[in-house]
């Protein structure tokens, strides 16, 4: 790999291009490198895969009911048609017309008042829906920020990837750990966990010298990339089967998966 390619890959242009954050000139430069250099294309494919891992782990269903509720409320608001008051030419009909007009006016006033109260209620509902929608947008923005942070961690050159598979007691178990000893961060992606009886659960540990330090519980329904505590000088990772509620002391006898970690000076 020549210096030109190394310089390009060490820049952040590929990440910016994948996130749609490049200028026109930067876009042209990235696409030129993608078409000319297989090394750049391979790096771009890896970035896409990592982004997909992070995005799938943080997927959130959009709040579909909010807009539908607002449209339904607007569609259901009745339209009032007021019939025009008939004019009588004969003078002896004036008193009847005046009385009839008074009744129409009183009735219309009551209808308008009722409709006004209903509209106030409906408007308040719409305001509440919009407020909830804004809260959902804020939560989704925070979730997106978390995704971007995890994406950066995955693509950090200092981040080490460890695939942890189960032994004969849990053949279908598979998790992937991402550890960055420089930034002191750890994440784990639960790919598959065999189902356990209701009174048992999986627990992940860090092996530190002659003891095991608990890093938390792994749930069968917890299929997402998540942070776990970083353990200084950890020699390996182990997943055990424990009784419900977890255990304070780890035992290799309960281990169903383990892997050694690289040593760092």
Distance CA 77, CA 71 (A): 10
Q: What is the pLDDT of residues 207-262, one digit of tens each?
A: 998 889 999 998 876 677 888 999 988 999 999 999 988 888 888 888 999 999 98
**Using CA of residue 36, residue 48, residue 216, residue 221, what is the dihedral sign?**
negative
Give 154's contacts (C-beta < 8 A, 6+ positions apart).
50, 53, 54, 178, 187
Residue 9 — pLDDT band, cuts 50, 70, 90? confident
Helix (H, G, I), strand (E, B) or coil at 89: coil
Report the predicted TM-score, pTM, of the whole model to 2 decimal places: 0.56
Distance CA 222, CA 229 (A): 17
pLDDT of residue 147: 75
> Domain-by-domain residue ranges, the chain?
3-57, 64-153, 160-260
Q: What is the pLDDT of residues 92-142, one digit of tens each?
A: 444 555 555 666 666 666 676 777 777 778 777 887 778 777 777 877 777
Q: What is the pLDDT of residues 153-183, one digit of tens each?
A: 788 888 999 999 999 888 899 999 999 999 8
Other beta carbons within 10 angstroms of residue 218's beta carbon come to 19
In terms of pLDDT, which residue wins out, 70 or 249?
249
pLDDT of residue 214: 92
Tokens of 54: 């992070």
- Of the candidates 177, 192, 172, 185, which has an alpha carbon nearest to the alpha carbon of residue 230? 185
Helix (H, G, I), strand (E, B) or coil at 189: strand
Give 173's contacts (C-beta < 8 A, 6+ positions apart).
164, 165, 166, 192, 193, 194, 202, 239, 256, 257
């Amino acid at each position: 790999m020549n210096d030109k390619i190394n310089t390009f890959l060490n820049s952040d242009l590929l990440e910016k291009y994948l996130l749609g954050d490049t200028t026109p000139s930067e876009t042209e430069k990235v696409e030129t490198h993608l078409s000319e250099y297989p090394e750049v294309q391979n790096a771009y494919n890896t970035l896409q895969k990592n982004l997909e891992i992070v995005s799938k782990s943080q997927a959130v269903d959009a709040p579909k009911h909010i807009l539908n509720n607002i449209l339904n409320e607007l569609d259901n608001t009745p339209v009032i048609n007021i019939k025009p008051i008939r004019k009588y030419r004969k003078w002896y009909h004036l008193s009847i017309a005046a009385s009839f007009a008074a009744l129409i006016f009183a009735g219309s006033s009551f209808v308008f008042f009722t409709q006004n109260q209903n509209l106030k209620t409906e408007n308040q509902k719409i305001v509440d829906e919009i407020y909830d929608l804004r809260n959902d947008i804020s939560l989704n923005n925070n979730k997106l920020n978390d995704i971007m942070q995890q994406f950066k961690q995955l693509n950090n050159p200092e981040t080490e990837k460890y695939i942890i598979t189960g032994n004969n007691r849990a053949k279908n178990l598979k998790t992937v750990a991402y550890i960055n000893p420089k930034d002191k961060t750890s994440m784990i992606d639960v790919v598959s966990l065999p189902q356990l009886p209701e009174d048992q659960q999986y627990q992940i540990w860090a092996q530190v010298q002659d003891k095991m330090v608990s890093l938390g519980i792994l749930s069968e329904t917890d299929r997402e990339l998540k942070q776990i505590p970083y353990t200084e000088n950890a020699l390996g990772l182990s997943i055990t089967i424990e009784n419900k509620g977890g255990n304070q002391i780890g035992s290799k006898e309960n281990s169903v998966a383990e892997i050694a970690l690289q040593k760092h000076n």
